[in-house]
Every structure is written in C-alpha cells, then in structure tokens.
Amino acid sequence: MQKRKIAVCLCIVWMVLSSCSSALPDLPNVFRYNESKGIPTLDPAFARTQAIINPCLQLYNGLLQLDNELHVLPCIAHKYAVSPDGLQYTFSLRRDVFFHDSPAFPKGEGRRVAASDFVYSFYRLKSPSLASPGSWTLVHMDTCYAVNDSVLAVKLRRASPVFLGTLAMPYCFVVPHEAVEYYGAEFSKHPVGTGPFYLKAWREGEKLVLRRNRRYFEQDSSGARLPYLEAVTTTFVPDKQSEFLEFAKGKIDYLSGVHAASRDELLTRSGTLNPKYAGKVQMLQGPYLNTEYVGFLLNNSEFANKALQNADVRRAIAYGIDKGKMVKFLRSNLATPAANGFVPQGLPSFSSAVKGFEYNPKKAGQLLAKAGYPQGQNLPELVFSTTDDYLDICEFIQHELAALGIKIRINALSGAAYRQQVGEGKLSMFRASWIADYPDAESYLSLLYSKNAPPAGPNYTHFCNHEYDKKYMQSLAETSLESRYKLYQSLDSLIVDNVPVLPLFYDKAARFVRIGVLGMEPNPMNMLVLKQVRKVNN
C-alpha cells in the first residue's frame, strides 16, 4: 500500500512540475539559482554539504538559528534556560509552528509542532541504523524528553559550550515521524518540514521548485509575515562556465564564489567587479569560515618525512611562502592571507593578537641552516599531495620554496584517493582546508587534539602535545565565554609555535547577485537563507 501511495505522489509531482515550470517565470519574486553539484537528498539528517544544506535551510527549522554574525538566536524555541553546571537545557517552544501539508497527515493538513517531535528527531539522528553523518552533533546528549507539548528538556553527559551552536545546524532540524514512516526510504525525496518554503516539485538533475509557506511563523521587524519570495527554483547545470553564462544572461539570480573559468571575465586583476557588469550585478563580500592550510604528518610511521619532524624545517617553510602574493594572483584577493593562527576571521573568538608567519625568506634560510640544511643542502625531497582543484596553489608553493633550496614534488591524486590516504596517515605533507561545522573555534581546535587522530577524529597530522591537550579539555569545560576565548587563543598560539599545520589564507564569501535582489548579505558560514530575500523591479 505504501509503495502505491508513493507512486501516486511521484506521478502528481511530475505533472505539477511540467505544469508549473512554464508558469513560474511569470510570477513575481521568484528566486533562481543553480546547484552544479546536484542535490542527492533533502533529509536534514544528511545535510553534510553546502549543496544539501542550502535547500534544507528553506524547508526546515530547528530550535535555534544563526544570524549573519553567527549569534545563536531563538527559532522554534522562543526561549531556553541552561543549568549552572551546563548539563540541563530546557527549551520553551512556540505554539504557532506547523509542519507543511502532506499526505502523511490525516486530511493532508500539517499539524502543530510539539516537543515530542524534537525528541523523535534527535533520537532518529543518533540512531546507528540511520547512519547520519551528523550524529556527532548529539554525542554528549544523555537523555531528551518532552515535559509537555511546548517544553523540551535535554540532559548532557558532559558540558559542551558549543551545544547551542550545533542545535542551529540542519542536522538538528525537526521532522515529523508521520512523514518519515509514510515515505520510508523515500523521505529524502519527499521532505516535510516547517520552513519558509515547501517542496512543490522536484525532477532530479533538472529542476527543484519550492513555494512560499503561507503559514510560516516568523515575521520581519515591522510585523510582515515571512518569506517575501513566492518561489525558489534550482537548476542543476553541472558545467561552471555554462552556469556563469546563465547568470550573465539574467536567467539565474545568484552565484556563490568565483570559478577559475569565469574569474577573468567577472573580476578585474585586483579582485573588484568588472565594470562591464556595473548596474547589472552587485558583488557582496564577507569572511567565510574556511581555512586553507598545509598539513604535516607528525608521527613515526613509515609515511612520515623525517626532516618534517623538525619544527624549524616547518617554520622555514612557513616563512618562505608569500601568502599575500598567492592570494592576489591565485584568488583575486577573494581571501585574506593567514597572518594569524588556524582559527579564521569571522569567528567571535578570532584575535589578531595571535601572530602567525609573515613572508621572511631571510629568516627561513636561517631556520634551515639551524636545522642542519643550509640553503636546502641534504634536505630530502618533500612530497606535497593535493587534488587537481588546488594544483595552482601547490605549484606556487613549490616555486616559492625552490628559491630556498627546498625541493618539492607534487603528488596529484583523485579526490577519493586523496581523502583515503589523508585519513590513513599516508601523506607526509598535504594541502587541506577546514570549513567550520558550527560557529565556534572548537571546530578548528579539535583537529589538533591528540585523541582525535584517525579513525577517532580528524587530527590528520597526528599532532600530540600534552599542553595543548590539557588546555583543549579545559576549554570544553569552561562556561565563561571570556575565559573560553582566552583558552582558544592560547591554543591557537600553540599551533603557531609548533606548526603541525601552516595556515595559508582565510577564505571570503563572495556573492554575485543580480541588481534588484535584496537581502543577500553574506555570512561567515555562507548559508543561503532566503526567507528575508526579495526581488524588486521585476
């Protein structure tokens, strides 16, 4: 019976899509964007990539949400309380939040969200049978229960200063048990949430259509009901050059970032918008929580380079790279050279007092000599691993270090092979990046905690430092924001001192938006939040 229901629903979706695809362009306030990587699922429990996160942000809500400065704000929970020991959380829910209409509900009408829905969603997320990549967000949760329909209680096994931030992630968005049970494995194709938009139609690989949820609960500062847009359409053109041409012709409203294929057309050499697009396109920039870095394998395995175990060699490499020139010529200034630590700009705990490595080839030479390799003599060749997408960065570093006598051989791997070998600790020197999972520096600092070495975690360098581990654990137990930030900055300074990783640059979020599209300001996590976006002069 369930299969028959799903088949009927699929037929209806196909009919609706074919009928609405031609009508939607005539509607006002339709926001159009392309997702070149495709969207494999619309289940928030699997929202691990930006391509999935973006539509999930339109379809679902959580207890809490983030603003453009990454402050944690109320959402479905209009207020919350935390016990003095940081173990007990109590959330009071709004009573005007409803799930989207769906055949999963009696009469097809979405019902009011209750605290028990979050209990269901959280335990579903943690369930080993679901195998969600986001189950780690609730790793410290001990119990979760509904006090009543509008009060949710969560008890942690261990205090977690980042818990509230993780609750704002799509992994923790609420879903109704009726829809998950009704659709089964097909729930990922039939999302039912509470968000500002609901799924109207989806033809995989061609178009996704979301329509305005007229029962959405949030309002703007003047009391007007959100969202402003009537619809959101997503196409799936895989070629980035073709995507740019669609944008240039005005057929899509938004581009995120600049692909190499269109960089010279869209930007000047200094990284500003090409004047030919003035009056047609606006370029919006802001910090993006992504640090590009070089990692060094620091263990005694057969794959580690012995010379790189010497911190002075790693420091010489750090001083020998002109990161300002790298950003200017390879990233068109759409990034900030990493003059500080591993924690990027855009996080509240970022501090310019944490001093990193500035370009200083003279000092680099002195450190090489101190390490026993004057002008690179007798220094074994270093194998620098990467993927094809970042060959330009690695070749730049290869050229810079050659001037110091440091010989670099670039090892270009496929994405799958690269990820596997990094995880298995087989790459002695590798280019990597880390995008924050949640708006707290702990997301970065956890990468260097010794007990997070693979397979337990993402400490791919196998860095082990007693002082670092001690302060890291102290930061997890610290409830004072000011004290925790000081610990974070001390940890970041230890990273600079020991150089298990060499930050290259902090990314910027660059958005290119058609004139007349308002409310598209970037945020440090590059979240595509469309509930307050509007189009004028249609």
Map out the domains of the chain as residue ranges. 2-239+515-535, 288-507
Does 300 have pLDDT greater than 60? Answer: yes
Give the pLDDT of residue 215: 96
At 8, is the pLDDT very low, low, confident or very high (cuts 50, 70, 90)? very low
* Dihedral sign of CA atoms 318, 324, 327, 333 in order: positive
Q: Output 530 or 50, whichever has higher pLDDT.
A: 530
Give the integer Cα–Cα distance in Å for 52 and 100: 19
At 28, is the pLDDT very low, low, confident or very high (cuts 50, 70, 90)? low
Give the integer Cα–Cα distance in Å for 237 and 249: 15
Among the four given CATH numbers 3.40.640.10, 3.90.1150.10, 3.40.190.10, 3.40.980.10, the one describing domain 2-239+515-535: 3.40.190.10
Q: Rg (Cα) of the chain, in Å, rounded?
A: 25
* 391 touches 384 (CB < 8 A): no
Q: Which amino acid is at 211?
A: R
Average pLDDT over residues 156-173: 93
Question: In terms of CATH, what superfamily is 288-507?
Answer: Dipeptide-binding Protein; Domain 3 (3.10.105.10)
Give the pLDDT of residue 197: 98
At 27, is the pLDDT very low, low, confident or very high (cuts 50, 70, 90)? low
At 21, is the pLDDT very low, low, confident or very high (cuts 50, 70, 90)? very low
User: Does the reported pTM lie above 0.85?
Assistant: no
Give the pLDDT of residue 5: 44
Does 428 have pLDDT greater than 60? Answer: yes
Contacts of 497 by beta carbon, 8 Å cutoff, 6+ apart? none
* Dihedral sign of CA atoms 47, 52, 53, 57 in order: negative
- Strand partners of residue 144: 154
Give the pLDDT of residue 110: 96
At 22, is the pLDDT very low, low, confident or very high (cuts 50, 70, 90)? very low
Contacts of 536 by beta carbon, 8 Å cutoff, 6+ apart? 516, 518
**Exposed e or buried b for every residue in 406-416, given b needs 16+ CB within 10 A?**
bebeebebeee
Mode of pairing for the β-strands spanning 534-535 and 429-435: unpaired
Does 18 have pLDDT greater than 80? Answer: no
Give the pLDDT of residue 260: 74
Give the integer Cα–Cα distance in Å for 173 and 70: 17
Tokens 């799903």 belong to: 6
Average pLDDT over residues 282-286: 92
Give the pLDDT of residue 55: 97
Q: How far apart are the first and last CA of the chain?
A: 45
At 3, is the pLDDT very low, low, confident or very high (cuts 50, 70, 90)? very low
Q: Output 167 or 16, whichever has higher pLDDT.
A: 167
* 61 touches 75 (CB < 8 A): yes
Residue range 256-271, pLDDT digits in tens: 988 777 888 888 888 8
Residue range 103-147, pLDDT digits in tens: 999 999 999 999 999 999 999 999 999 999 899 899 899 999 999
Give the integer Cα–Cα distance in Å for 319 and 501: 13
At 23, is the pLDDT very low, low, confident or very high (cuts 50, 70, 90)? very low
Mode of pairing for the β-strands spanning 408-413 and 501-514: unpaired
Q: Output 172 or 416, whichever has higher pLDDT.
A: 172
**CB-neighbour burial class of residue 336 (10 A; exposed 0-12, middle 13-18, buried 19+):** buried
Average model confidence (pLDDT) for the chain? 91
Residue range 212-226, pLDDT digits in tens: 999 999 999 999 999
